């Protein structure tokens, strides 16, 4: 399924990009006056292969939940059972992601791809558990390459299913206590940045824990010989397996799945950014199908976005995950595309153009 998906991904269509750009310049507004939003609409036209691109609604949020062996090292002040508790909170509609999804009119699907406990069946929960959490990435590989591929394929399948159910925009989400540690390691591996530059305080840690966290990421980079690893698809899979989480694998697959179906993907924060680096290493064309919903307060996220060449839509120092930053951006992405559908041209509206 992975190979088939990768073979279906196309880069942005140059004609659709050019059409969208030309169309923008005929609309009743000064040229370029929508700033970065014009680029969002043009990007979605390129991704869809047609201008104007389809309206990116309704949106579907997938929250991929998993646990992390590295949690045992004390990198987070939150107990591991919070992953399970937050899954229940999502399913009961009580989390911030639910409130933001309601605002955006997005559906919420929770996917257990590696939570360290058995979860009772519930509407909205998809059981695709690969293992009861990853192994400790500082001691050995977090998962096997086979597990990493299975994680990717879970994400691809979820993307397919959501699109089959009518989604026209996919939003990435995550839940997993300690997953900013794995994210920092992935970002360091794929961008070549030093662990000290790309490791953040996650949901809130003190100086001592922060030093420990940076040290663990540094140790993982050495243990797995990951510096500059992302030079080939097979090395990328090895890096994902070495230090990633099951949710990183699944989100990377989810992005690939959206791109293969030409359905745009709005990326959330640092966990999604780390996963997007994996996707882009497997096929650089995938990034043409992504929009960066926001830039989080985590330093690794800025590094990931810079590496991917993506400009975030929102920049409000969120550091929550769950897909919250992606959901917030969704109405803006819709507004950007709506301009190409609905705004009158100078000719049609009888508006005089600027006198050059």
One residue of 22, 77, 132, 225 binding a copy of itself per CB under 8 A: 77
Task: Name the one range near a copy of itself by CB under 8 A: 72-80, 188-196, 230-238, 285-293.
Answer: 72-80
* Least distance between a copy of itself and beta carbon 34 (Å): 6
- Vertex 131: Cα angle to 128 and 133 (nearest 5): 110
Instruction: Judge contact between 57 and 89, C-beta under 8 A.
Output: no
Q: Which is nearer to a copy of itself, 52 or 155 (CB)?
A: 52
One residue of 2, 50, 82, 212 binding a copy of itself per CB under 8 A: 82
One residue of 64, 100, 190, 246 binding a copy of itself per CB under 8 A: 100
Residues 310-329 that bind a copy of itself (CB under 8 A): 313-320, 324, 327-328
Q: Which tokens go with 52?
A: 């104007």
| Per CB under 8 A, 237 contacts a copy of itself | no
One residue of 98, 109, 179, 199 binding a copy of itself per CB under 8 A: 98
Which stretch of DSSP H or E encloses residue 108?
Answer: strand 107-114
Q: Which is nearer to a copy of itself, 119 or 297 (CB)?
A: 297
Q: Which is nearer to a copy of itself, 31 or 222 (CB)?
A: 31
Strand-by-strand arrangement of the 107-114 sheet = 125-127, 107-114, 59-66, 169-175, 265-267, 290-292
Mind giving me the DSSP string for 34-66?
A: TTHHHHHHHHHHHHHTSSSPPP--SEEEEEEEE
DSSP 29: S
Residues 155-214 that bind a copy of itself (CB under 8 A): 203-204
Gap between the Cα atoms of 199 and 327, Å rounded:
24
Task: Name the one range near a copy of itself by CB under 8 A: 178-186, 231-239, 281-289, 338-346.
Answer: 338-346
| Per CB under 8 A, 89 contacts a copy of itself | yes
Instruction: Judge contact between 287 and 318, C-beta under 8 A.
Output: no
Q: Which is nearer to a copy of itself, 159 or 328 (CB)?
A: 328
| Structure-token match 């591996």, residue found | 189
| Per CB under 8 A, 93 contacts a copy of itself | yes
Q: Which is nearer to a copy of itself, 91 or 142 (CB)?
A: 91
| Per CB under 8 A, 25 contacts a copy of itself | no
| Per CB under 8 A, 354 contacts a copy of itself | yes
Instruction: Judge contact between 329 and 293, C-beta under 8 A.
Output: yes
Binding mask 283-302 for a copy of itself (x = CB under 8 A): --------------x-----
Task: Name the one range near a copy of itself by CB under 8 A: 90-98, 123-131, 211-219, 276-284.
Answer: 90-98
| Structure-token match 């243990």, residue found | 223
Q: Among residues 109, 140, 144, which one has the least CA distance to residue 130?
A: 144
One residue of 36, 72, 122, 225 binding a copy of itself per CB under 8 A: 36
Gap between the Cα atoms of 39 and 34, Å rounded:
9
Distance of CA 345 to the CA centre of its chain: 35
Cα distances (angstroms) measured from residue 303 to each of 122, 214, 269, 285:
37, 16, 11, 19
Q: Among residues 64, 61, 120, which one has the least CA distance to residue 88?
A: 120
Residue 92, classified by CB atoms within 10 Å of its CB into exposed (0-12), middle (13-18) or buried (19+), is exposed
Residues forming the active site: 322
What residue ranges bind a copy of itself (CB under 8 A)?
27-37, 77-79, 81-82, 85-86, 88-89, 92-96, 98-100, 102-104, 203-204, 297, 313-320, 324, 327-328, 331-332, 334-335, 338-339, 341-344, 348-352, 354-356
């Amino acid at each position: 399924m992975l190979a088939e998906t990768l073979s279906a991904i196309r880069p942005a269509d140059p004609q659709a990009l050019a059409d969208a750009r030309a169309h923008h310049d005929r609309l009743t507004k000064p040229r370029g006056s929508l700033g970065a939003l014009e680029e969002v609409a043009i990007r979605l036209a390129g991704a869809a292969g047609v201008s104007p691109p389809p309206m990116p609604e309704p949106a579907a949020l997938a929250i991929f939940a998993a646990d992390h062996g590295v949690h045992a090292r004390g990198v987070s002040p939150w107990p591991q059972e919070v992953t399970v508790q937050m899954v229940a909170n999502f399913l009961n509609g009580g989390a911030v992601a639910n409130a933001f999804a309601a605002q955006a009119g997005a559906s919420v699907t929770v996917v257990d791809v590696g939570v360290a406990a058995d979860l009772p069946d519930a509407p909205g929960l998809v059981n695709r558990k690969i293992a009861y959490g990853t192994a400790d990435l500082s001691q050995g590989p977090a998962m096997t390459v086979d597990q990493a591929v299975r994680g990717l394929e879970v994400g691809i399948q979820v993307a397919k299913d959501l699109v089959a159910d009518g989604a026209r925009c996919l939003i990435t989400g995550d839940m997993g206590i300690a997953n900013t540690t794995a994210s920092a390691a992935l970002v360091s591996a794929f961008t070549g940045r030093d662990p000290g530059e790309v490791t953040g305080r996650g949901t809130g840690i003190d100086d001592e824990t922060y030093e420990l966290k940076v040290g663990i990421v540094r140790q993982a980079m050495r243990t797995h010989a990951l510096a500059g690893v992302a030079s080939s698809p097979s090395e990328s899979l090895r890096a994902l397996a070495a230090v990633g989480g099951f949710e990183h694998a699944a989100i990377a697959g989810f992005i690939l799945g959206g791109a293969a179906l030409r359905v745009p993907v709005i990326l959330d924060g640092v966990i999604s950014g780390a996963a997007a680096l994996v996707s882009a290493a497997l096929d650089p064309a995938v990034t043409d199908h992504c929009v960066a919903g926001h830039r989080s307060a985590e330093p690794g996220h800025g590094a990931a976005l810079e590496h991917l060449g993506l400009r975030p839509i929102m920049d409000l120092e969120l550091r929550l995950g769950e897909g919250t930053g992606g959901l917030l951006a969704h109405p803006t992405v819709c507004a950007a595309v709506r301009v190409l559908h609905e705004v009158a041209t100078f000719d049609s509206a009888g508006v005089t153009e600027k006198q050059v």
